[in-house]
Amino acid sequence: MISGMDELPHAEGPEVTEAPSAAALAQSAEPPHEELLGFYDRLRERVLHAVERHGGRFSETTVEALLLAPDLFLLLVRLSLDRRVPPRARALIAGTLAYFVLPTDLLPEAVLGPVGYLDDLVLTAAVLSQVFGGELETYTKVHWSGTHELTRVLERITTSADALLGAGLYSRLKRLLARHGVKLGD
């Protein structure tokens, strides 16, 4: 179980299924593009649907990570629009955001459905952990809409990355990140 996440929302009930992007993005300094809002809504719907249908086949850690996907995506959007975030960090965040929305990556969402977001989550956690280091809360406090402490969420995702992705895919993602100066694990 991902520590610090013992009160995850269940994949049912109005508080989860009625989380429209407009309300979730109300805290943003700048409104994101409609395409990003639509992606957020589709992502939330797809993840919840997959967990409802296949939750028993996924490990508890996998379910918890997948349920974090919409909130981490939203955080990337908000940080990429925040002009206070240093330009180099914004560039890495924008690249991570692009990876998130690409349907064909190391775990293609187009083929695997929401399980394909696991590599996106690990990449997001690694980038955010490294880009902001100890100053993570300065920027994310304003933008994080998740219910769990973000630093613990990121730490747990990166430490469970090998289990989430499998050794082979973990190694490939680790090499990909290293080429861009981002360290994953160890």
Residue 37 has a pLDDT of 66
Question: Furthest-apart CA pair in the chain: how many Å?
Answer: 43
Q: Secondary structure of the chain in the HEC alphabet? A: CCCCCCCCCCCCCHHHHCCCHHHHCCCCCCCCCHHHHHHHHHHHHHHHHHHHHHHHHCCHHHHHHHHHHHHHHHHHHHHHHCCCCCHHHHHHHHHHHHHHHCCCCCCCHHHHHHHHHHHHHHHHHHHHHHHHHHHHHHHHHHHCCCCCCHHHHHHHHHHCHHHHHCHHHHHHHHHHHHHCCCCCCC
Residue 34 has a pLDDT of 64
- Which residue is associated with the tokens 């630093």? 151
Rounded CA gap, 163 and 140, in Å?
26
pLDDT per residue rounded down to tens, the chain (186 residues): 444 443 333 333 333 333 333 343 344 445 455 666 677 788 888 888 888 887 678 888 888 898 898 899 999 999 999 998 888 888 999 999 999 888 788 999 888 888 899 999 999 999 999 888 767 678 887 898 888 888 889 999 999 999 999 999 999 999 999 998 888 876
Domain ranges of the chain: 14-179
Dig out the tokens for 100 from the structure.
């998130």
Rounded CA gap, 46 and 96, in Å?
20
Q: Model pTM?
A: 0.77
Rounded CA gap, 165 and 62, in Å?
9
Rounded CA gap, 87 and 12, in Å?
39
Rounded CA gap, 35 and 101, in Å?
10
Q: Which residues contact 39 (CB under 8 A, 6 or more apart)?
A: 73, 101
Dig out the tokens for 126 from the structure.
């690694």
Residue 102 has a pLDDT of 84
